Structure 1
Amino acid sequence: MDTQQVTLRKMTPAEYHAAAEHREAESVHALSKFMPEELARERVRHGTAHFLPDGPDTAGHHLVMAENGSGEVVGNAWIGPDPGQASGSADSAWLYDINVFEPFRRHGYGSAILAAAEELVAREGRTALALDVVGSNEAAIALYRRSGYEVSSMSMRKNL
């Protein structure tokens, strides 16, 4: 696999809209396995409104596009305060979302975007970056493990 590097920049309004649509559709799809689709849509809309009340201009959140050395946009990420820590006292940040666009997958860009996100939060004085991952997303789990992430908690479910 190639070693890649990316530069992060703030999303434009159009990029934010497209990323939000993609993120919300993915979230509804994942949640619909555990609840009715309409309830999943409501929960996702509520989450977006709660965590990003000012959209891409929400204080403390970074909604970024990742560009490779040729200036191609290869993916995006949403990094913000750790929702599990008290506001203003957090030593960790939270990776809410990360995407590598289809033509750039399996070329090392996931690792590059993750490393750039880690550098961004380290520059802010944070000492950790935490995240959630869907248990069936084996590619993401492998990426996080290769990048040094460890399981800090686990939820399990069985539909009856």
Structure 2
Amino acid sequence: MNSPAVTLRPMREDEYEDYTTRQEVEYVQALAEIMPAEAATEKARQDRAQFLPDGLATERHRLLVAENATGQVVGYAWVGLDEPRTRATDTAWLYDISVEERYRRSGYGRAILAAVEAVAREAGATRLGLNVFGRNDAAISLYQTCGYEVMTQQMAKRL
């Protein structure tokens, strides 16, 4: 499938709160599958405070809006320009990628991912890391078809 063209631009202040609120809701929903809802909500809040302490101005983080060829917003990406645990600058980190509902299954995820990879390369990274929840089959498929490999894996069984 050929990916449509996208352009990434910096997120504006008026877009930031809506994006982070929506991203946090989705993150809490995913976390709630592996921990109690209250703990998931608290973890999401702690992670946002830890990784985006200065919001859009957080150093070495890029919050990006993806627009298609006609200027319509088709998705978003949040990339850190270093690895979150080690702070190694040779590995950028994809914290979030999302495609607006009406544009899903149209190649925009692949296009946004490729554009984020270019941002990471331009910043000097030679790798782009990410985490994906095990039940997110669409994302896993996207990453695999784009050449991403499993580096670590956690497993659990409900008892």
For the aligned pair, the TM-score class normalised by the smaller chain equals over 0.9
Is contact 1:2-1:107 (8 Å) kept? no
Distance in 2 (alpha carbons) for counterparts of 1:45 and 1:115: 29
| Partner of residue 113, structure 1 | 112
Task: Measure how far apart 1:14 and its partner are.
Answer: 2.3
1:54 equivalent to 2:54? Answer yes
TM-score normalised by the chain length of structure 1: 0.95
Aligned length: 158
Distance in 2 (alpha carbons) for counterparts of 1:14 and 1:82: 28
CA RMSD of aligned residues (A): 1.1
| Partner of residue 36, structure 1 | 36
Task: Measure how far apart 1:33 and its partner are.
Answer: 1.8
Q: Secondary structure at the match of 1:17?
A: helix
Q: Secondary structure at the match of 1:53?
A: coil
Distance in 2 (alpha carbons) for counterparts of 1:17 and 1:83: 22
In the TM superposition, structure 1's runs of 4+ consecutive aligned residues that sit over 6 Å from their partners are none
| Partner of residue 65, structure 1 | 65
Is contact 2:89-2:124 (8 Å) kept? no
Identity of matched residues, %: 49
Q: Secondary structure at the match of 1:35?
A: coil
Structure 1 gaps, min length 5: none
Q: Residues 128-147 of structure 1 correspond to what in structure 2 (within 5 A)?
A: 128-147=127-146
| Letter paired with 1:29 | Q
Distance in 1 (alpha carbons) for counterparts of 2:85 and 2:143: 20
Q: Secondary structure at the match of 2:154?
A: coil
TM-score normalised by the chain length of structure 2: 0.95
Task: Measure how far apart 1:2 and its partner are.
Answer: 4.0
Structure 2 gaps, min length 5: none
